[in-house]
Amino acid sequence: MTLSLVLQALFAGVTNGIVYALVGMGLSAIFKGSRVINAMQGEFAVIGAMTTVLLLTKTGWPYAAAIAGGAVAGALVGAFIEVAFVRYMAKKNASEDSFLLLTIGLALTLSASVLFFIGRDGHLLPPLGGEGVLIILDAVIQFHALWLIAIGIGATLALRAFYHRTTIGLSMMAASIDADGAATTGINVARMRTFTFVLGGLLGALGGILVTPLIGVDYQLGLNLTLKGFAAAVLGGLTNPLGAAVGGLTLGLVESLAIIGISSSYKDVVAFSVLIIIMILMPQGILGRAGRRGG
């Protein structure tokens, strides 16, 4: 095991970890705001990435505008799902399981729609910052990965600022901690839940757009990202979107360091085993803060 191999693995781990973190932060934001585990979080990534691909290739939008379009598409689908399904089911006091099944059904539908309307082929996006690479101690690092890491960190900090500094963010937090209390102070709780889904869709789409230049996007990408994002969110304590950032990084690093020792095809086995073990041994997540079920 050489130093450059370890460095390469560390870098791959951080890159993947940021993607898991973005998907996980979206999942966690939705859970925090609505108590719904969104089993179609990975589909937001597919929607964002596919929309960007289509805008870029079919309509010839500039890359930056296409990325923005993809992110907005994720946010809109998020809003639609809350307004069309979650709101109705919440009114009928649907159980935890029903929400899970709803999102599983939506994930199947969306994945099948991508297969039907766009096809089975994978699509790539051009890397940000061009095709160039950086070589440190023989470890090859794509410029795109550097962009991905920078944008991921930026998004995490922005999310933190959003929850702590803006009126909407604070209202969303209030609505999730005590819905009745928030309603008393004049917060529109139902609208905050819609915003929660918008935020979840936005973060998921961003994750999908950023990972597409590295691994491509196809109709099957969603489920895997959902699982990894959920693992990231659980590691971080589930109700804490910023914890999901730490969880995602941890997961990415564990995965890529583990496969130095064993075959790379065991990557998912390692990741999901870690998920199960952490859930059993550390029910509060690795940060161990504020109960995962509480606000």
Partner 1 sequence: MNPRTLLWLATGLVVWAVLPFIVPRYMADLLVFTGIYTVAGLGIGLLLGHCGIVNLAQATFYGLGAYASAYCTVMMGLPSVVGFLVGAVISMALAYVIGRPILRLTGYFLALGTLALSAIASALFFEWDWLTGGTLGIGGIPKLDLFGFLLDRPSRYYFFVWIVAFACMAVARNLVDSRTGLMLRAMRDSSTAAAALSVDLQALRTRVFVVCALFGSLAGSLFAHHASFVSTQSFTVDRSISFLLIPVIGGATSIPGIVVGALFVTFLPELLSKLGDIHQILFGLALVAVVVLMPEGLVGAFGKLRTRLAKRGSGHG
State the residues that interact with partner 1 by CB under 8 A: 37, 85, 88-89, 92, 94-98, 100-102, 104-106, 108-113, 115-116, 223, 227, 230-231, 234, 263, 265-266, 268-269, 272-273, 275-276, 279-280, 283
> Of 105 and 132, which has the nearer Cβ to partner 1?
105
Shortest Cβ 153–partner 1 spacing (Å): 27
Residue (of 68, 64, 106) closest to 206 by Cα position: 68
What tokens were used for 143? 């410029």
Do 50 and 123 contact (CB within 8 A), yes or no?
yes
> Of 149 and 282, which has the nearer Cβ to partner 1?
282
Shortest Cβ 226–partner 1 spacing (Å): 9
Shortest Cβ 286–partner 1 spacing (Å): 15
> Of 17 and 229, which has the nearer Cβ to partner 1?
229
- Cβ neighbours around 281 below 10 Å, total: 7
How far from 229 is each of 53, 172, 224, 276, CA to CA, in Å?
22, 22, 8, 14
Shortest Cβ 132–partner 1 spacing (Å): 34
What tokens were used for 166? 């803006």
Shortest Cβ 116–partner 1 spacing (Å): 5
Residue (of 26, 8, 22) closest to 253 by Cα position: 8
Shortest Cβ 166–partner 1 spacing (Å): 29
> Of 41 and 142, which has the nearer Cβ to partner 1?
41
> Of 112 and 157, which has the nearer Cβ to partner 1?
112
Shortest Cβ 27–partner 1 spacing (Å): 10
> Of 58 and 92, which has the nearer Cβ to partner 1?
92
> Of 82 and 174, which has the nearer Cβ to partner 1?
82
Shortest Cβ 30–partner 1 spacing (Å): 12
> Of 104 and 133, which has the nearer Cβ to partner 1?
104
